[in-house]
Structures are given as C-alpha cells and as structure tokens.
Structure 1
Amino acid sequence: MTIVLKLTPKEISHLIVAYQPDTSVASSPYIQFLAKPPGCVITVYTSGKVMFQGERSEHYASQFGYKHTPVAKVQQTNIIGTDEVGNGSYFGGLAVVATFLSDEDIPLIKKLGVDDSKKLTDTKIRQIAPILKDRIQHKALLLTPSKYNEVIESGYNAVSVKVALHNQAIFLLEKQLSVVPDHIIIDAFTTEKNYTKYLKNEANETSGKVTLIQKAEGQFYTVAVSSVIARSLFLDELDDLSQNVGISLPSGAGHKSDLTAAKIIKQLGESTLSQVAKLHFANTEKARKLNK
C-alpha cells in the first residue's frame, strides 16, 4: 500500500530523528530523507510530501496523522479512477486516462450507458467518448509507438511505463481539481508491490492514497469513464497510423499482427514499423521470420 502525506517542517524533523537508525541512501535529488523500517519504505521529498510504501505503511503513517478510510464499494463520486488501453496491442500507442466524478456527473454517466470499454462496441465508444471528454474532468496521456519504443530502450519495461503514465495522469488531474479526492483507484495491471517499486523512480508525487483493484472498471464509474476515453484515444490513433503508412493496422497481438508487420517491413522497412508498433513484442521477430 502507498500513502502520501503532506507534513510540516517540524513534523518532518521529528520523523527524521525517529527513523535515523533506519536511514538508507537516496539516489534521487528530489529525496531529502529515506528510511526503511520493518515492513515499510519512508521517503521524504524536498517538496514536503512523505511517502509510506509497504505492508506496514498504514502503521507508520498513522503516527503522523493518517487515518484509514476503507473504499466504499457504493461510493462513485469524489474519486479519481484510472485505466489504460493499448498495452496488449502490438500496433498503436498506450493511452492512460485519469477521471474525477462529482455527484452531478452520475446522471450523465448512467444516461450514456458507460461501462468497461471491453464490453462496449467501438461504435458505441466513438459515440459517447466525445461527450465524456467535453463534460467530465479528466486527464488523458497518449504515448505514441515511437515514443514508447524510445522509453523502453532507455531502460523502462512494460510495467514501469504504465506506472509512470498512471502516476503522471493522476498528478496532473489533481492539480486541476478544486477538491481533494477521497480515493484514487487504479484498475490493477500489476501487483501493489511492483507498483510501489517502480513509483520510486518518478519525480512527481500524487497527494492521495492509491489503491489497485482488480477489474475496477466494472465497479467504479470513474475507472469505466477512463477506460472509454482511453479506448477512443487508442482507436483514433490507430486509424491515423494506418492512414500514415497506407496499411490497415489491427488491434491486438495475434497472427494478423505478425502478417501486417511483415508486410510493413517488406514494403516500408523496419524504421517505419518502429513508428507504428511496440517493437519489444514477440510479433516483431515473428514478422522478420515470415520475410525470410
């Protein structure tokens, strides 16, 4: 579990003194103090925010004013929800969206029939996504295939890329809000342990408590809205990329993607493929073999 608190300079001084015996070396210039007491990693940032990560994060955070508030299954508003689309597709980029809903938004969400994007047709998504983008507070990020490949080559992996994008979308949305959300829900794409591990590499810190929930898009409207908007962004970009190369690019990572990639390599070269596909997928090598 990850908990982030904003502490006063006096509280931070007390924390540093209390956990001096557990001090660890920090590798980031944004980190003022790092301690690793049993079951938790405590990171004090120069901004004044303190992050508690690990199975005992609530225990340590409670010493500095944190009070646990369980996520109510029926609560649908005053929550940030995030989801991503494109991570399982060879062609196209990776879209991540963070959404915030107020009580006033719920009637519209129900009227539009918002649901997990995987349960909606592409036609339905294209119909309702523009309305959601116009009426609902959200932050959308789209990592193009070329940028995705560049980031992977720089040392990120498929999971750490998503952690970075989800964290950034939440961070930017929080800056737009005039209220503090009760919870931040992420449709779980990895374990909480992995998420907190990769989160340490990110400079921007979200202020709310983050919870990863399996199949959250079927439980929270905020995540479902994020899913729909992200799917629409992914589809629009896939259309644009198809038009750019003059070849229809399929979604997914099946044999059809292998054949399409082989066609692109043969006709346009691998440099063009790198502009429309995630090269670290196994489809790339399969396409090369098809051309031999």
Structure 2
Amino acid sequence: MNNLVITVDHQQKKQIKAQYANYQLPNNNPYVEAFFKVEGVSITLYQSGKLMFQGEKAGSLAQNWGYQDEQSPQQPIQSQQVPMIGTDEVGNGSYFGGLAVVASFVTPKDHAFLKSLGVDDSKRLTDQKICQIAPVLKENITHQALLLTPKKYNEVIDKGYNAVSVKVALHNQAIFLLLQKGVQPQKIVIDAFTSSKNYNRYLAQESNHFPNPITLEEKAEGKYLAVAVSSIIARAMFLENLAQLSQEIGYYLPSGAGKPSDQVARDILAQYGMTGLEQTAKLHFANTQKAHALLSNRK
C-alpha cells in the first residue's frame, strides 16, 4: 500500500517533528503543520492530527507510529517454551555509524521479566525507550554484542567482503562466542537478511563453526523474545556509536541514507577530506558519490 493515513495525538506530533527534523522540507499548504521526505516516503503532518505516508515504504514507516496492516497483521511475539538464541543487526541501512550485531540467550523463565520491561521489536519502540531498557537487558540477559565501526567496516569491505557476507560473519561470530559462554539453546534463530543458501555459502568462508542448526526467519524480531532483545541492544549500541562519532567529527550524523546524509557528508568532505568519511561512514554507499557531486557543485 502506497498511501496511508493515521491519526496522531499532540505528543506524537512532537515526537514526529523531533525524529524527522533533519528530513523536513517546505510546504505551502496552510493545513500542513510539517512535511518530511524519509527514505523515499513523503510524510505529511496535518494541523488536524492526520499523518499521511506516501511511497513504496509507507507501510514500514507508518508502523512506527501505530499503523497496523490488516492485510498482514504484525505477528505477536511468541512465548516459545525452549531456551533459544536470537540474533539481529542494526546499522546496515545507515550511511553513517557502524554495524551492530547481537546474539541473546533467552529461556522461558525470562519471558515474564522481558514482557514486564515492554520488550518488543525495536522498530516499534522509540529510541528513548530503547535506551532506557537496553542497559537492563544487558545486565540481566546473557548475550554477545559486536560492533563493527565505520573504519573497520570499510577495511573489511576493501578486503573482499560485501554488505551480506560481512553480516554473515558477524552473526556467526556472535553466536559462536555466545555458545562459548556455556549456554545450551534448543533453537537458534537469525532475523533473516538473506537466503539460507547465501548464508551457508558465505559461512563456508568463516573459520569459526558450531554444530547447532540455525533458522533464518523473516521479521523474527517481532516473533521471538530472544531476537527482540538482540534488536534492542543492537539499536542502542548503534545509536551510542553514532552519537560518539558525531561528537568526534563535530557534525550531527543522521541515521539512514537520505539527503541529509549526503549534505553532512559533503560538509565533512570539505573540512576533512575522505579521511573524515572513512572514520564515520560506510564508503560503498551511493551517498559518498553524491557528497562528492554536491561539493563539486558548490565550488
């Protein structure tokens, strides 16, 4: 569905305008309170409280603000009654910032505690909520967290990895290290980012292996508490890394890969050259070429 409309309250209006501040564009409609362009989706916030999403990814963004697709409803988190490991990654779609991958071990006795915290798919939680509960999860749930900084990410890509194979390596390593801590899962679920055939092909190139079978499942972060925990911890790690890099470089680094990222990349190029981007961004993204073009046009 490419055109969705929901109703938001005053507090949500404030959150929307804060979250999408860097994506705001001018709009002359007197009934429009704010207009944004995010990941190719036009988002129009009306004075009346109506919020309209237009674009290919309209449904995905609208779900962040309460929209539920009646055609394919969000599958509730399952109260799986087996000890399991779940993994997820955050940062793959963002030009700036690193790539965080987390594997978490959750048993049935953890379910009540996790639900009391409001553990859910991180895409349906605000960043503020994620940053509140992530430290509690890290303290109470056995997990393994890995963060590939932009500098290291670029080095790995230069060595022949690609956007998929680097994730295979990180997910596999996180699970391997978590198993080394002595946990005994009956099931291992990875939030699917590629096919099983591709995963196994890239996995063959890695040195660390384990005998446990794995399952790659789409939208697993919304089905399994173990994956949801990993999703939340990974998101908090990514945000922390993005904030740290912003402080070091002296520019606010936006999440995502839209026009705001192009413009910030241009300014970093102008001040620091490619060295600045190597430290803060995933260079193989198209944003790098766009930033060079923007800088050339400005001269």
Runs ≥4 in structure 1, deviation > 3 angstroms?
none
Which residue identity lines up with residue 198 of structure 1 in the other structure? Y
Matched, 1:142 2:147: yes
Matched, 1:95 2:84: no
TM superposition shift of 1:177:
2.3
Mapped partners of 2:207, 2:261: distance in 1: 36
Which sections of structure 2, spanning at least 5 residues, go unmatched?
A: 1-77
Cα-to-partner distance string for 1:247-291 (whole Å, 9 max, x where unaligned): 000000001100010010001211111000000000000000000
3-state DSSP of counterpart to 1:291:
helix
User: 1:76 touches 1:101 (CA, 8 Å); kept in 2?
Assistant: no
- Equivalent in the alignment of 1:156: 161
Mapped partners of 1:214, 1:128: distance in 2: 24
TM-score by length of 1: 0.74
Count of residues in correspondence between the two structures: 219
Matched, 1:82 2:68: no
3-state DSSP of counterpart to 1:115:
coil
- Equivalent in the alignment of 2:117: 112
**Which of residues 119, 125, 135 in structure 1 aligns to 2:130?**
125
Mapped partners of 2:254, 2:242: distance in 1: 8
Mapped partners of 1:101, 1:207: distance in 2: 19
TM superposition shift of 1:107:
1.4
TM superposition shift of 1:207:
2.5
Q: Where in structure 2 are the equivalents of 1:272-283 lying within 5 Å?
A: 272-283=276-287
User: 2:79 touches 2:111 (CA, 8 Å); kept in 1?
Assistant: no
Cα-to-partner distance string for 1:35-74 (whole Å, 9 max, x where unaligned): xxxxxxxxxxxxxxxxxxxxxxxxxxxxxxxxxxxxxx65
Range 202-211 or range 126-135, more displaced: 202-211
% of aligned pairs identical?
62
User: 1:98 touches 1:170 (CA, 8 Å); kept in 2?
Assistant: yes
User: 2:79 touches 2:225 (CA, 8 Å); kept in 1?
Assistant: no
Which residue identity lines up with residue 287 of structure 1 in the other structure? A
Cα-to-partner distance string for 1:116-159 (whole Å, 9 max, x where unaligned): 11111000000000000000000000000000000000000000
Mapped partners of 2:226, 2:207: distance in 1: 25
User: 2:165 touches 2:202 (CA, 8 Å); kept in 1?
Assistant: yes
3-state DSSP of counterpart to 1:168:
helix
Matched, 1:171 2:176: yes
3-state DSSP of counterpart to 2:193:
coil
**Which of residues 236, 243, 247 in structure 1 aligns to 2:247?**
243
Select the structure of larger CA radius of gyration: 1
3-state DSSP of counterpart to 2:210:
coil
RMSD between superposed Cα atoms in Å = 0.9
**Which of residues 225, 237, 245 in structure 2 aligns to 1:221?**
225
TM superposition shift of 1:103:
2.4
Matched, 1:291 2:295: yes
- Equivalent in the alignment of 2:208: 204
Mapped partners of 1:195, 1:151: distance in 2: 18
Mapped partners of 1:258, 1:77: distance in 2: 45
